Copies of this chain bind each other. A is one copy, B any other.
Amino acid sequence: MNIQLALDRMTIDDAINMAKRVKDHVDWIEVGTSLIKEFGMESVKRMKEAFPDKTIVADIKTNDNAKYEFELCFKNGADVATVMGTAPKATIQACISVARQYQKNVMIDLLNVSQENLEMLSQFDQAILCAHVSKDEQELSGKSQCLIQLPSSIIKNNRIAAAGGITIDSMKRLASDSPEVVIIGSAITKAEKPEKVAKEFKDFIRQLI
């Protein structure tokens, strides 16, 4: 189980500094959507330069124009780029195709995806399906990601990630589904001692094995 550190709502410098503090306890580093939309591809480029040996995820949340956006990400150093599960099938297929060409990976964000669409998306078995409770829904309802609400056939057969307000407590409930990736943002980045919290997540995962 990999820990993906999500970096959002901060400057590129602050994001790099935060990642430096916790790098020994995280596996993947996500350049959050807010960084990409605020600072552009410079955010992805600088993160890869700072961490050439880490898996860098560009959370570009593509809805359209897949080839252009995914090539931007991969040319700037991303190892994984994200596409919305609500995007047209043509867009998702184009993302898969560009990723294959660059020998990189696709993460499909399942935010607000219908059950019907989920069935279709589960056919993309090279991609990582990311179960995702949105920031806006968390803020509205206090709801966070404590269970991966996906059919068991998908949990069993697909590559899975989970995101959205994950804490050490919710992590314990998530772990039974053994996702390939758990995406953790503010629980680490807003902690008083990010290193300590990141290590707690990592230690928790280590003892599962």
Cβ-closest chain B residue relative to A73: B37
Whether A24 sits at the interface, judged by CB under 8 Å, is no
Cβ-closest chain B residue relative to A140: B90
Q: Is the CB of A86 within 8 A of B84?
A: yes
A37-B41, A86-B112, A112-B86 given; A64·B136 CB < 8 A: yes
Whether A66 sits at the interface, judged by CB under 8 Å, is yes
Whether A33 sits at the interface, judged by CB under 8 Å, is yes
What 1/0 mask marks residues of chain A from 48 to 63 whose CB sits below 8 Å from any chain B CB?
Answer: 0000000000001101
Tell me how many chains of this kind the complex includes: 2
CB distance from A133 to the nearest CB of B (A): 9
Q: Is the CB of A84 within 8 A of B63?
A: yes
Interface residues on A, range: 35 or more
Q: Is the CB of A72 within 8 A of B111?
A: no
Cβ-closest chain B residue relative to A65: B135
Q: Is the CB of A134 within 8 A of B64?
A: yes
Q: Is the CB of A36 within 8 A of B37?
A: yes
Whether A180 sits at the interface, judged by CB under 8 Å, is no
A:56-100 near B, CB below 8 Å: 60-61, 63-69, 72, 84, 86-88, 90-91, 94
Roughly how many angstroms separate A69 CA and B208 CA in the complex, as a whole number?
A: 38
A90-B134, A94-B136 given; A69·B112 CB < 8 A: no
Roughly how many angstroms separate A14 CA and B113 CA in the complex, as a whole number?
A: 36
Roughly how many angstroms separate A67 CA and B136 CA in the complex, as a whole number?
A: 9
Roughly how many angstroms separate A8 CA and B141 CA in the complex, as a whole number?
A: 36
A:1-49 near B, CB below 8 Å: 8-9, 33-34, 36-43
Whether A200 sits at the interface, judged by CB under 8 Å, is no
